[in-house]
Amino acid sequence: MIQVFDGAAGPSLAPGGSVACVGAFDGVHRGHRALLDRVRARADARGLPAVVVSFEPIPREFFARGGPLLRLSDRHDKIEQFQAAGIDRVLLLGFDAELAGWTAQTFIDRILVARLEAREVFVGADFRFGRDRQGDVALLREAGERAGFSVDVFPEFALDGGRVRSSRIREQLAAGDFDGAAHLLGRRFRIGGEVIHGQQLGRRLGYPTANIALGTRASPVRGIFAVRVHGLDGGPHPGVASLGVRPTVDGSGAPLLEAHLFDFDGDLYGRRLDVEFVAKLRDEEKFADLDALVRQMDRDAAEARTILGMPQAAKAGATA
């Protein structure tokens, strides 16, 4: 079972030493997974724990200007993927003004040496760290020679003629290329969270939905989608979902993920569900009235059923 630790302060996480890697790991895509596999292999070879240092929020999110950074994963998603890769321990650092002000040497001393007792450190070729991004691979290697750890630069991971990067995947998702994004992620894109109480409008319209608030997370996708919902007994459940601000029925502007599960009857409040995006049906739009909205929802449900290989059926069932 993976162990997760928060914050820079505290005792050593690996008194006997560790093999570590450092990064934002947004999405934990196939390039990240190749790096994690290498860390796991080196940790096994040395009989040491494999440790990941990551950040929440990620640095680019903290420094983002002109709006929040679109994210591929949240804390829960990242930890789940680290565990799938066989990582033993994760140190999550809250990236704030204090951490942003650390010098590169402070990060090395307080994190890599004091908390991780690192023996090997893996980073990407473009790794920069410390105040004003003053630290680079050369500085890290010099510090490692003094502190007793080696530095391995993981090569760029390319697929289909291009480097696998979180930004490339975000662009594919925004364009509705879910198959292409899945190829680079190594799995289909998902958004998860706890099912919350809503306005019950979907139930009254014949499409009860499981509602998941995004909070501060900014999603790279908006619109109406064919989906599969994970977290239920019996495996993923097909459905249709809306992710947006619901302009016809809500003027708050707060984004919400609403998933209608086909042919399902049950109470989902308080459960964590993960919504897997299969195909985009259309953009979100504002309708003149609720009758027009329901007619479009009927068309969306029929199209989603076709995409997901389900028989057409009358509206039925209840979720949350």
Q: What is the pLDDT along the chain (320 residues), one digit of tens a residue?
A: 899 999 999 999 999 999 999 999 999 999 999 999 999 999 999 999 999 999 998 888 888 765 677 899 999 999 999 999 999 999 999 999 999 999 999 999 999 999 999 999 999 888 999 999 999 999 999 999 999 999 999 988 989 888 999 999 999 999 999 999 999 999 999 999 999 987 666 677 778 899 998 877 889 999 999 999 999 988 899 999 999 887 666 656 678 899 999 999 888 899 999 999 999 999 998 888 888 899 999 999 999 999 999 888 754 443 44
Query: Could you tell me if 155 and 178 are in contact, meaning their C-beta atoms sit under 8 angstroms apart?
Result: no
Beta bridge partners of 194: 272
Domains of the chain: 14-163 (3.40.50.620), 189-307 (2.40.30.30)
- HSE at residue 313, side-chain half, CA atoms within 13 A, is 15
Identity of the residue numbered 169: I
Measured distance CA(88)–CA(123) in Å, rounded? 18
